[in-house]
Structure 1
């Protein structure tokens, strides 16, 4: 079973992601803070990571380099509702909130 880690302080967004991916046979983990997210990341080693930038305990995107170096097989997806640069690379994507479910289907490769 593939694993998804969502690091986002919006509880409702976590419920939405779980309800979207659970029927597709994905195990979804949700961290509400950056520190919890980084702990879960190293414990679970997810296949897909959705990382919000603006978190209560720091800027999520500041952990991008750590994630890319230490979890190179995970697909990193950076998300934010504010000032999203229109760029992506093969090792990560940048997504703007609100996310569109069809866009999530394109990201997750079964």
Structure 2
């Protein structure tokens, strides 16, 4: 496969868990811990899938989502959040997210979710 996945999340544990589980399936995984850094990465290199945390120390992934989707309309974005109150999920999907992943998540579902968002 060799698809490139970018993770923008401020929790190192989440990044490493995703990197480990996705790496086992042949994905190349890069991660950054802030929105600004993530946006710079996107300007240099476009991943095949983006995992975007909604609550970041330097901004809201939810606020950045429309901008990301306008610049990279074909990039599937999977939003991740520890706050799954239904409203955030609705906002994320309305703003263009391909999938909403509540934390904690089941790594066993990742492969299925990626297949879903890429098809």
TM-score under structure 1 length normalisation: 0.88
Tell me which residue corresponds to 1:79. 80
Q: Where does the alignment leave 5 or more consecutive residues of structure 2 unmatched? A: none
Tell me which residue corresponds to 1:56. 57
Alignment equivalent of 1:99, drawn from 101, 105, 119: 105
Tell me which residue corresponds to 1:22. 23
Q: CA RMSD in A?
A: 1.8
Q: How far off is 1:78 after superposition?
A: 0.9
CA distance in structure 1 between the partners assigned to 2:50 and 2:59 by the alignment? 17
Q: How far off is 1:91 after superposition?
A: 5.2
Q: How far off is 1:103 after superposition?
A: 2.2
CA distance in structure 2 between the partners assigned to 1:8 and 1:20 by the alignment? 16
TM-score under structure 2 length normalisation: 0.82
CA distance in structure 1 between the partners assigned to 2:74 and 2:59 by the alignment? 24
58 and 91 in structure 1: CA distance in 2 versus 1, 3 angstrom threshold = closer
2:7–2:15 Cα contact (<8 Å) kept: yes
After the TM superposition, which of the residue ranges 18-27 and 82-91 deviates more from structure 2?
Answer: 82-91
Tell me which residue corresponds to 2:70. 69
Looking at secondary structure, tell me which structure has more helix per residue.
Answer: 2
CA distance in structure 2 between the partners assigned to 1:104 and 1:21 by the alignment? 8
27 and 11 in structure 1: CA distance in 2 versus 1, 3 angstrom threshold = same
CA distance in structure 2 between the partners assigned to 1:69 and 1:27 by the alignment? 24
Give the total of aligned pairs: 110
